[in-house]
């Protein structure tokens, strides 16, 4: 008998299962609102012009394929730090930030979780928003954390349960890791406003909690600077230890290149140097060193003033299309007798908790070939001029 004979099937991914069902659906007017990526007006993953330009320059001047350093391409790490913490950040000037390129934002979360588990020991706890991106739980559980939840989404107001959030964070033991979405919360689309962020940051500091900011959609709500508010406020408030995991998958439309980074902020330069050595040791034990191509593309764009400006423009177009689709959906729903969906324009990023029930999601799929997650999460970027009237009509019909 095979040594693998007792191995059980892992549970299937609900999102991938939905995509398979969508692909197999023969109805011509089908729409997949379940996707987790940004697609353009034509339903395609865009290839940004700024990226294409760097890629063509690389192709004209091919280079040998040596290994990158364990913590990645130095120019990429430097550019990432400036984007996250601000070009004139006192934290960067003081040498308090240790940044390493990682295999996507997921790699940053995993390396960060592994290292924090080593630092915090067997009693390590992490508090995750309710709800959150499913992989947050998987990554921290697998790294050996005890998982806790804090209240976040309020279904009644379709906004943040801010009182509940503050109450839950206020009850956590000092040293608990608090996982925060910097902007464009996945899956709800519901973000904290500036006043709420100030309060949360003050509480995290006062209670000696360990903020871990996940920023996977920088530039998708209001622009790269404004979307980094949470990180900037943690720095300004004098929080002496926090962590940031960032991803360029969406903001550069480079999903398969796996470009992300992990940054640990320490109390001073010397602490950051020790953290850097520990981040590198953790990467070494996981996958030795990251991949070069995507990092060359991102660094090539961010290091050139001209290409960087072009990137901000292209990112702005993606952001603008998302905002336009949200506004159009609200108008079209209202025109079809469903004015209760005004909250779509108060949500941020590609995702929205629509408030549609499991039964309504099922009706959309069965009667209209419109696919959404059973939680009611929809991807607004999947809407376009060609399908939005059909979707608005169907949503209004199942909402009666
Ligand atoms: N964090 C959040 C909240 C995300 O939604 C995602 C991507 N879906 C990631 C992290 C990971 O990004 P990547 O694809 O770069 O691993």
Residue 338, φ and ψ in degrees, nearest 5: -125, 70
Pocket of ligand 1 contains residue 260 by CB under 6 Å: yes
Contact in structure between 380 and 352 (CB atoms under 8 Å): yes
Catalytic positions: 133, 214, 250
Pocket of ligand 1 contains residue 351 by CB under 6 Å: no
Return d(Cα 211, Cα 205) in angstroms, integer.
9
Return d(Cα 179, Cα 186) in angstroms, integer.
12
Pocket of ligand 1 contains residue 132 by CB under 6 Å: no
Return d(Cα 156, Cα 347) in angstroms, integer.
15
Contact in structure between 279 and 263 (CB atoms under 8 Å): no
Return d(Cα 76, Cα 254) in angstroms, integer.
15
Ligand 1 atom closest to Cα of residue 248: 15
Return d(Cα 151, Cα 105) in angstroms, integer.
24
Q: Are residues 198 and 112 in the same domain?
A: yes
Q: Are residues 174 and 257 in the same domain?
A: yes
Contact in structure between 220 and 381 (CB atoms under 8 Å): no
pTM (2 decimals)? 0.97
For residue 131, cis peptide bond before it (omega within 30 degrees of 0): yes
Give pLDDT tens digits along the chain (400 positions). 999 999 999 887 777 789 899 999 999 999 999 989 999 999 999 999 999 999 999 999 999 999 999 999 999 999 999 999 999 999 999 999 999 999 999 999 999 999 999 999 999 999 999 999 999 999 999 999 999 999 999 999 999 999 999 999 999 999 999 999 999 999 999 999 999 999 999 999 999 999 999 999 999 999 999 999 999 999 999 999 999 999 999 999 999 999 999 999 999 999 999 999 999 999 999 999 999 999 999 999 999 999 999 999 999 999 999 999 999 999 999 999 999 999 999 999 999 999 999 999 999 999 999 999 999 999 999 999 999 999 999 999 999 8
* Alpha carbon of 244 to ligand 1 centroid (Å): 13
Number of domains present in the structure of the chain = 2
Query: For the CA atoms of the chain, what is the radius of gyration?
Result: 22
Q: Count CB atoms within 10 A of the CB of residue 87.
A: 10
pLDDT digits (tens, 9 = 90+) for 209-236: 999 999 999 999 999 999 999 999 999 9
Using alpha carbons, select from 263, 214, 225, 215 the residue that is nearest to residue 102.
Answer: 263
pLDDT digits (tens, 9 = 90+) for 113-130: 999 999 999 999 999 999
6 in a structural domain: no
Q: Which residues contact 337 (CB under 8 A, 6 or more apart)?
A: 396, 400
Q: Which of 251, 286, 303 is the last residue of a domain?
A: 303
Q: Which of 263, 286, 303 is the last residue of a domain?
A: 303
pLDDT digits (tens, 9 = 90+) for 335-348: 999 999 999 999 99
Q: Are residues 322 and 393 in the same domain?
A: yes
Q: Are residues 135 and 267 in the same domain?
A: yes
Write down the number of H helices and E strands in the chain. Answer: 14, 13
- Tell me the two tokens of residue 368: 């209209």
Which residues does residue 103 pair with via DSSP β-bridges, in sequence order?
A: 259
Contact in structure between 106 and 139 (CB atoms under 8 Å): yes
Q: Are residues 27 and 136 in the same domain?
A: no
Q: Are residues 236 and 291 in the same domain?
A: yes
- Tell me the two tokens of residue 396: 């209004």
Residue 263, φ and ψ in degrees, nearest 5: -125, 125
Residue nearest to atom 1 of ligand 1 (CA): 216
Q: Are residues 391 and 267 in the same domain?
A: no
Pocket of ligand 1 contains residue 133 by CB under 6 Å: yes
Cα angle 3, 4, 7 (rounded to 5 degrees) comes to 140
Q: Are residues 105 and 210 in the same domain?
A: yes
Tell me the three state secondary structure of residue 227.
helix
Q: Which of 269, 303, 337 is the last residue of a domain?
A: 303
- Tell me the two tokens of residue 355: 């408030």
The CATH number of the domain holding residue 349 is: 3.90.1150.10
* Alpha carbon of 26 to ligand 1 centroid (Å): 30
pLDDT digits (tens, 9 = 90+) for 32-61: 999 899 999 999 999 999 999 999 999 999
Using alpha carbons, select from 195, 135, 148, 214 the residue that is nearest to residue 175.
Answer: 148
4 in a structural domain: no
Q: Are residues 36 and 85 in the same domain?
A: no
Distance of CA 270 to the CA centre of its chain: 30
Q: Are residues 322 and 366 in the same domain?
A: yes
> What range does the domain containing 181 cover?
67-303
């Amino acid at each position: 008998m095979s040594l693998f004979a007792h191995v059980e099937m892992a549970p299937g991914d609900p999102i991938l299962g939905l995509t398979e069902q969508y692909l197999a659906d023969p109805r011509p007017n089908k729409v997949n609102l379940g996707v987790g990526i940004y697609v353009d007006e034509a339903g395609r993953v865009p290839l940004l012009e700024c990226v294409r330009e760097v890629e063509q320059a690389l192709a004209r001047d091919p280079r040998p394929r040596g290994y990158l350093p364990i913590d990645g391409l130095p120019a990429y790490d430097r550019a990432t730090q400036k984007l996250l913490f601000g070009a004139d950040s006192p934290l960067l000037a003081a040498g308090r930030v240790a940044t390493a390129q990682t295999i996507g934002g997921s790699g940053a979360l995993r390396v960060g979780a592994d290292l924090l588990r080593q630092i915090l020991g067997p009693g390590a706890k992490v508090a995750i928003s309710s709800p959150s991106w499913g992989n947050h739980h998987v990554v921290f559980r697998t790294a050996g954390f005890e998982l806790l939840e804090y209240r976040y989404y309020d279904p009644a107001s379709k906004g943040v349960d801010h009182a509940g959030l503050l109450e839950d964070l206020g009850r956590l033991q000092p040293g608990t890791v608090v996982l925060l979405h910097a902007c464009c919360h996945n899956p709800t689309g519901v973000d904290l406003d500036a006043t709420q962020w100030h309060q949360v940051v003050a509480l995290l500091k006062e209670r000696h909690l360990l903020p871990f900011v996940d920023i996977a959609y920088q530039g998708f709500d209001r622009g790269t600077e404004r979307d980094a508010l949470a990180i900037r406020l943690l720095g300004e408030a004098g929080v002496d230890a926090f962590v940031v995991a960032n991803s360029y998958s969406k903001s550069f439309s480079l999903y398969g290149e796996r470009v992300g980074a992990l940054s640990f902020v320490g109390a001073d330069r010397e602490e950051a140097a020790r953290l850097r050595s520990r981040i590198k040791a953790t990467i070494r034990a996981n996958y030795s060193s990251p991949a070069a191509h995507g990092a060359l593309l991102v660094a090539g764009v961010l290091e050139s003033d001209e290409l960087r400006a072009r990137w901000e423009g292209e990112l702005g177009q993606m952001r603008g299309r998302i905002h336009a689709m949200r506004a159009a959906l609200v108008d079209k729903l209202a025109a079809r007798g469903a004015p209760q969906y005004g909250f779509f324009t108060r949500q941020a990023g590609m995702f929205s908790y629509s408030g549609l029930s499991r039964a309504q999601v099922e009706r959309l799929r069965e009667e209209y070939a419109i696919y959404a997650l059973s939680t009611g999460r929809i991807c607004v970027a999947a809407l376009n001029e060609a399908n939005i009237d059909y979707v608005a009509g169907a949503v209004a019909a199942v909402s009666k």
